[in-house]
């Protein structure tokens, strides 16, 4: 189960050993995580602004710097989500130059996980896996199930038993086999590591993880391209396992190396829920050591108490001059509402985390008003509507008569007959 490819291969960042291309995530010698390394010089004449502009309006326009096997025919138009100027939200939180990267509308399953899954499954097919799967907090489950169905692969997906009903339904509907595990994500993840050891399955975030994780870079490429091939001053990114924030930086560094953008320091800010904040705690305490936590937050898609990329993420954030913050469940819900009310973007709890943390970073003066800042929204609010239960009352039905409607509006606005008469008199 391996293939040769001259453009990229697995490499151990600790001992430097290279391993070609195979379903393997840890160095057999020093056990360190493996990462994809590219022949960047070979990519130089392919990965140009002109070639990218001539490519499709999805992540495959960046294929020259993705671990996509030769001959792979991209099928689904994944990614290339809107980068929108957030003037209204900006006004509310004191930001003059704020953008939202909106992966709440990523295709096909409405989260940024569609990016990583498409890259992982391209490799799963090449390696010859018939069964694919993942450990998931929900969005990944949805994406693996949907994309596996499209590719004709069987999917077995493991999730914590207490996952939001919408995310369970959004997995089952694609015909995937879903196994609910009596435990939290960290238990599920550990079990999947053992499964990958014993079964010949392609688990996208376990034995295919080096390939999978590279898909996250496309968020970074898109941000730079959509800003007119320039880098922002700051990026605010939600953190679960801690992978995305590092891959955005990797993307920016590749763009600088290949001359597509001007070099500039970009500060990276991580966002977590206070109920599961191992990385943000590490950043605040100035350490790379992650103390695992038992998650207790409504932001279940970020509820990873023992984040695999946590140490590296904490180190990178501080070296960039950035910071990490965490917010309470109440703030998360307010963040969801604020983004919806100001920008018309309905995000899930993770996006509530990112929005609330972004607001706090401005309030605390960690980000200045005029700096170009991109806040990354990674999932859709329709999947976590239970977080908003009780926030909106269903009002009584009104008879289909204009007079009743008039009266009802006055009732809603709290205007009395007396006030109306007075206003009329004026």
Partner 1 sequence: MSIKVTLPTAFIRHTDGRKHFNSAASNLPGLIADIDQTFPALSTQIKDEEGKLRRFINIYVNDEDIRFLGGETYAFQDGDEIMLIPSIAGGIA
Q: Is 188 or 387 the residue whose CB approaches partner 1 more closely?
A: 188
Residue 257, C-beta contacts closer than 8 angstroms, at least 6 positions apart: 40
Q: Is 309 or 329 the residue whose CB approaches partner 1 more closely?
A: 309
Angle at 212 between CA 288 and CA 231, to 5 degrees: 65
Q: Which residues of 177-207 are buried (b: 16+ CB within 10 A; e: fewer)?
A: ebeebeebbbbbbeebeebbeeeebbbbbbb
Q: Is 100 or 312 the residue whose CB approaches partner 1 more closely?
A: 312
Residue 5, C-beta contacts closer than 8 angstroms, at least 6 positions apart: 21, 67, 69, 70
Rg over alpha carbons for the chain, rounded to the nearest Å, is: 23
For residues 340 and 313, the answer to whether their CB atoms sit within 8 Å is no
- Whether cis (ω within 30° of 0) applies to the bond prior to 108 is yes
Min dist CB 237 to partner 1, Å, is 14
Cα 364 to its chain centre, rounded Å, is: 24
Min dist CB 309 to partner 1, Å, is 5
Residue 387, C-beta contacts closer than 8 angstroms, at least 6 positions apart: 298, 332, 333, 336, 348, 349, 352
User: Footprint of partner 1 on this chain (CB under 8 A)?
Assistant: 12-14, 25-26, 28-35, 183, 186-187, 189-190, 193-194, 197-198, 205-206, 209-210, 213, 241, 243, 246-247, 249-250, 253, 291-292, 294, 306, 308-309, 311-312, 315-316
Q: Which residues of 279-318 are buried (b: 16+ CB within 10 A; e: fewer)?
A: bbbbbeeeeeebeebebebbbbbbbbbbbbbbbbbbebbb
Q: Is 167 or 250 the residue whose CB approaches partner 1 more closely?
A: 250
For residue 207, give Cα distances in angstroms to 197, 216, 234, 236: 9, 17, 32, 28
For residues 156 and 174, the answer to whether their CB atoms sit within 8 Å is no
Strand partners, 157: 134, 178
Distance, CA of 240 to CA of 112 (rounded, Å): 13
Distance, CA of 208 to CA of 424 (rounded, Å): 70
DSSP string of 151-173, one letter each residue: HT-EEEEEEETT--HHHHHHHHT
Q: Is 150 or 180 the residue whose CB approaches partner 1 more closely?
A: 180
Distance, CA of 415 to CA of 120 (rounded, Å): 58
27 HSE (CA, 13 A, CB side): 16
């Amino acid at each position: 189960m391996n293939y040769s490819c001259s453009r990229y291969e697995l490499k151990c960042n600790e001992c430097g050993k290279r391993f070609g291309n195979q379903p393997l995530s840890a160095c057999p010698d020093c056990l360190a995580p493996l990462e994809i390394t590219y022949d960047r010089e070979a990519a130089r004449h392919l990965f140009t602004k002109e070639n990218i502009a001539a490519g499709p309006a999805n992540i495959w326009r960046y294929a020259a710097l993705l671990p996509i096997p030769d001959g792979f025919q991209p099928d689904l138009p994944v990614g290339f989500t809107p980068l929108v100027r957030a003037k209204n939200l900006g006004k509310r939180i004191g930001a003059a130059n704020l953008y939202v990267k909106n992966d709440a509308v990523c295709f096909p399953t409405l989260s940024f996980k569609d990016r990583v899954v498409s890259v992982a499954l391209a490799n799963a097919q090449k390696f010859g896996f018939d069964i694919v799967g993942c450990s998931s907090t929900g969005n990944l489950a949805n994406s693996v199930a949907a994309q596996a169905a499209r590719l004709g692969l069987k999917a077995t997906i493991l999730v914590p038993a207490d996952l939001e009903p919408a995310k369970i339904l959004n997995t089952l509907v694609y015909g995937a086999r879903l196994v609910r595990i009596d435990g939290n994500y960290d238990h599920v993840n550990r079990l999947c590591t053992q499964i990958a050891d014993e079964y010949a399955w392609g688990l996208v975030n376990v034995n295919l993880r080096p390939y999978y994780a590279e898909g996250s870079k496309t968020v970074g490429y898109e941000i730079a391209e959509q800003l007119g091939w320039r880098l922002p001053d700051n990026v605010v990114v939600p953190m679960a396992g801690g992978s995305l924030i590092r891959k955005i930086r990797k993307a920016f560094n590749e763009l600088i190396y290949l001359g597509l953008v001007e070099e500039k320091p970009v500060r990276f800010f991580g966002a977590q829920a206070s109920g599961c904040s191992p990385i943000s705690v590490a950043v605040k305490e100035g350490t790379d050591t992650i103390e695992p936590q038992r998650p207790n937050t409504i932001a279940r898609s970020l509820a990873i108490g023992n984040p695999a990329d946590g140490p590296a993420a904490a180190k990178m954030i501080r070296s960039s001059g950035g910071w990490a913050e965490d917010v309470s469940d109440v703030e998360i819900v307010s963040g969801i509402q604020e983004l919806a009310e100001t920008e018309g973007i309905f995000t899930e709890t993770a996006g509530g985390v990112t929005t609330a943390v972004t607001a706090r970073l401005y309030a605390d003066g960690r980000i200045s008003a005029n700096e170009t800042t991109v806040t990354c929204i990674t999932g859709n609010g329709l999947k976590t509507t239970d977080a908003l239960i009780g926030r909106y009352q269903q009002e009584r039905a009104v008879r289909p008569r204009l007079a009743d409607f008039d009266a009802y509006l006055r009732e809603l606005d709290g205007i009395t007959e007396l006030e109306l008469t007075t206003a009329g008199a004026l």
